[in-house]
Amino acid sequence: MRATKLREGDDDGVGALWRFTWRSRLPYDLEFESETTRVERPHLLEGRARGELRGVGRWRLYEGRGTAVVYEWDFERSTS
């Protein structure tokens, strides 16, 4: 994976923009940009992706005997 920060966000990171390139077992790369849209420390991080991967992702963190993370992804259909 390759990640390049394109823009800084505010003090919480909201508005930060990153470009990602992921390689999977398939013989091609997946490229997209992700912007942080919501941060509620320490329990929620949300971002919107555009490019070859599109939609909204949310990471919810829960404390207990350790830390549990639930990742939700709402995909958007490609119009191309």
Q: What pLDDT digit, counting tens, does each position of 37-79 carry? A: 999 999 999 999 999 989 999 999 999 899 999 999 998 876 6
pLDDT band (50, 70, 90) for residue 24:
confident
- Does some domain include residue 70? yes
- Does some domain include residue 8? yes
- Does some domain include residue 80? no
Domain count, the chain: 1
- Does some domain include residue 63? yes
Residue partners of 22: CB distance under 8 A and separation at least 6: 1, 29, 30, 31
Regarding beta strands 17-23 and 2-7, do their DSSP bridges make them parallel or antiparallel, or are they unpaired? antiparallel
- Does some domain include residue 12? yes
CB 28 within 8 A of CB 49: no
User: What is the model's pTM?
Assistant: 0.84
Distance CA 67, CA 59 (A): 12
- Does some domain include residue 53? yes
Q: Is the torsion defined by CA of 68, 74, 34, 15 positive or negative?
A: negative
Domain with 60, as residue range(s), is 2-75
